[in-house]
Structure 1
Amino acid sequence: MKTRTAQRGCMAAAVALAMLQLGTAQAQSAGDTASAAPADGLNLERIVVTGTTGGTSKMKSSNSVSSMELDTILHNAPTSAAEVLRSVPGLRAESSGGEGNANITVRGLPISAGGARYVQIQEDGLPVLQFGDFNFTTPDSFIKIDSTLDHLEVVRGGSASTLATNSPGGIINFISKNGKEKGGSVAISRGLGYDQTRVDFDYGAPLSERTRFFIGGSWRTGEGIRHSGVNSEKGGQIRGNVTHEFDSGFVRLSFKHLDDQSPTALPVPVSVRNGRIGEIAGIDPRKASFYSPFWVPDMVLNKDNQRVATNVNDGLHVKSDSVGVEASVKLGQGWSVSENFRYADNSGRFTGVFPSNSGSDGSYVFASGPNQGKPYIGRAFSAVVFNTSIDDASNTLSDTKLAKTFVLDSGKLTTTAGLYLSQQKLGLT
Structure 2
Amino acid sequence: MPTAAIAKDRDAGTASGAENGAAAAEAADADSAPKVEELFSTGVAKGRDRLDSATSTSSLRASEIEKFGVRSLAEVFRNIPGIRAEAIGEGLGSYTIRGLPLAANGSKWLNFQEDGLPVVEFGDINYLTPDSLLRFDLNLAQIETIRGGSASTFASNSPGGVINLISKTGDVEGGTIQATTGLDYGESRLDFAYGAKLSDTVRFHIGGFYREGEGPRDQGFTAYRGGQIKFNITKDLPTGYIRLYGKYLNDQTPLYQGVPLAVSGSNDDPRYTNVPGFDASRDVIQSRNLGNYVIPNGENEPTRFDARQGINPTVKSIGLEAQFDVADWTITERFRFSDISGSVQLVLPLRIAPAATILGVLNAPGGSLRYVNGDRTGQVVPNAATATLNGNGILVSGMLYSPQMKNMDNVTNDLRASRVWKAGAGDLTTTFGIYASRQSVFNDFLGSNIVTDVRSGGNTALVDVIDAGGVAQTQGGFFNFNGSVAASFDVDYQVLAPYASVNYKVGKFSFGGSIRFDRGNVEGQAFGYTIGRQNFPTQSVDVNRDGVISVAETRTAQFDFNAPSLVDYNYDYTSYSASVNYRVSDAFAAFARYSRGGRAAADRILVTPTIDPVTGQLAGGEDGFDVVTQTEVGLKFRKSNVTLNLTGFLADTSEVNRQVTSNAAGETVAFLIERDYRAYGLEFEGAVTFGGFNLTAGATYTKAEITDDVTQPQFIGNTPRRQPDLIFQATPQYQTDLFTAGVNIVGHTDSFAQDANQLKLPGFAIVSPFLQVRAAEGVSVMVNVNNVFDTLGIVEISQGALPANGVVTARTINPRTVSAAVRVSF
Distance of 2:291 and 2:212 partners within structure 1: 23
8 A Cα contact 1:184 1:204, kept in partner? yes
Give the partner amino acid of 1:54. Answer: K
Pair 1:304–1:18, CA change in 2 (3 A): farther
- Counterpart among 316, 321, 335 of residue 311 in structure 2: 316
Could you say what secondary structure the match of 1:269 adopts? strand
The residue number in structure 2 matching 1:89 is 81
Q: Does 1:327 align with 2:322?
A: yes
Q: Does 1:285 align with 2:277?
A: no
The correspondence of residues 294-305 of structure 1 with structure 2, limited to 5 A, is 294-305=289-300
The residue number in structure 2 matching 1:206 is 197
Larger radius of gyration: 2
Distance of 1:282 and 1:355 partners within structure 2: 18
Pair 1:278–1:358, CA change in 2 (3 A): farther
Q: How many angstroms does 1:300 deviate by?
A: 3.2
Distance of 2:155 and 2:296 partners within structure 1: 37
Distance of 1:265 and 1:289 partners within structure 2: 7
Could you say what secondary structure the match of 1:141 adopts? helix
Pair 1:188–1:296, CA change in 2 (3 A): closer
8 A Cα contact 1:229 1:292, kept in partner? yes
Q: How many angstroms does 1:227 deviate by?
A: 1.8
- Counterpart among 72, 77, 98 of residue 69 in structure 2: 77
Distance of 1:268 and 1:364 partners within structure 2: 21
Distance of 1:308 and 1:148 partners within structure 2: 38
Could you say what secondary structure the match of 1:257 adopts? strand
Distance of 1:44 and 1:358 partners within structure 2: 55
Distance of 1:296 and 1:249 partners within structure 2: 53
- Counterpart among 101, 105, 122 of residue 113 in structure 2: 122
- Counterpart among 188, 204, 209 of residue 197 in structure 1: 188
Distance of 1:158 and 1:33 partners within structure 2: 20
Could you say what secondary structure the match of 1:385 adopts? strand
- Counterpart among 112, 131, 137 of residue 128 in structure 2: 137
Distance of 2:15 and 2:57 partners within structure 1: 16
The residue number in structure 1 matching 2:54 is 62
Q: How many angstroms does 1:344 deviate by?
A: 0.3
Give the partner amino acid of 1:107. Answer: R
The residue number in structure 1 matching 2:667 is none
Aligned CA RMSD, in angstroms, stands at 2.4
- Identity fraction in percent: 36
Distance of 1:61 and 1:55 partners within structure 2: 9
- Counterpart among 390, 398, 407 of residue 392 in structure 1: 407
Q: Does 1:343 align with 2:334?
A: no
Q: How many angstroms does 1:108 deviate by?
A: 2.4
CA deviations on 1:361-393 (whole Å, 9 max, x unpaired) are 565321113421113440231222122111111
Q: How many angstroms does 1:302 deviate by?
A: 3.1
CA deviations on 1:274-327 (whole Å, 9 max, x unpaired) are 433332111111111223332252323333332221111111111100000000
CA deviations on 1:51-103 (whole Å, 9 max, x unpaired) are 1111112222211101100011111121111111000000001134x210011
Q: How many angstroms does 1:113 deviate by?
A: 2.0
Q: Does 1:413 align with 2:404?
A: no
Q: How many angstroms does 1:34 deviate by?
A: 11
Pair 1:188–1:27, CA change in 2 (3 A): farther
Q: How many angstroms does 1:115 deviate by?
A: 1.0
Distance of 1:242 and 1:45 partners within structure 2: 23
Q: How many angstroms does 1:409 deviate by?
A: 4.7
Q: Does 1:180 align with 2:185?
A: no
The residue number in structure 2 matching 1:353 is 347
When normalised by structure 1's length, the TM-score is 0.88
Give the partner amino acid of 1:71. Answer: S
Distance of 2:292 and 2:202 partners within structure 1: 51
Distance of 1:225 and 1:285 partners within structure 2: 12
Q: How many angstroms does 1:33 deviate by?
A: 8.4
Distance of 1:278 and 1:34 partners within structure 2: 46
Give the partner amino acid of 1:168. Answer: P
Pair 1:360–1:65, CA change in 2 (3 A): same
CA deviations on 1:213-242 (whole Å, 9 max, x unpaired) are 000001000101112211111000000100
Distance of 1:119 and 1:34 partners within structure 2: 22
The residue number in structure 1 matching 2:19 is 31
Distance of 1:405 and 1:90 partners within structure 2: 33
Distance of 2:106 and 2:22 partners within structure 1: 36
Distance of 2:199 and 2:375 partners within structure 1: 62
Distance of 1:347 and 1:414 partners within structure 2: 41
8 A Cα contact 1:115 1:132, kept in partner? yes
- Segments of structure 1 that go 5 or more residues without pairing to the other structure are 1-16, 20-25
- Counterpart among 192, 199, 214 of residue 223 in structure 1: 214
Give the partner amino acid of 2:263. Answer: V
Q: How many angstroms does 1:249 deviate by?
A: 1.3
Distance of 1:234 and 1:201 partners within structure 2: 17
Give the partner amino acid of 1:70. Answer: A
Q: How many angstroms does 1:426 deviate by?
A: 0.7
Distance of 2:21 and 2:146 partners within structure 1: 22
- Counterpart among 410, 418, 431 of residue 403 in structure 1: 418
Q: Does 1:46 align with 2:38?
A: yes
Could you say what secondary structure the match of 1:56 adopts? coil
- Segments of structure 2 that go 5 or more residues without pairing to the other structure are 8-13, 29-34, 357-367, 445-826
The residue number in structure 2 matching 1:255 is 246
8 A Cα contact 2:253 2:312, kept in partner? yes
Distance of 1:343 and 1:74 partners within structure 2: 29
Give the partner amino acid of 1:394. Answer: D
8 A Cα contact 1:248 1:331, kept in partner? no
8 A Cα contact 2:15 2:239, kept in partner? no
Count of aligned pairs: 401
The residue number in structure 1 matching 2:761 is none
8 A Cα contact 1:148 1:202, kept in partner? yes
8 A Cα contact 2:15 2:241, kept in partner? no
8 A Cα contact 1:270 1:358, kept in partner? no
8 A Cα contact 1:342 1:396, kept in partner? yes
The residue number in structure 1 matching 2:437 is 422
Distance of 1:255 and 1:76 partners within structure 2: 28
Give the partner amino acid of 1:404. Answer: R
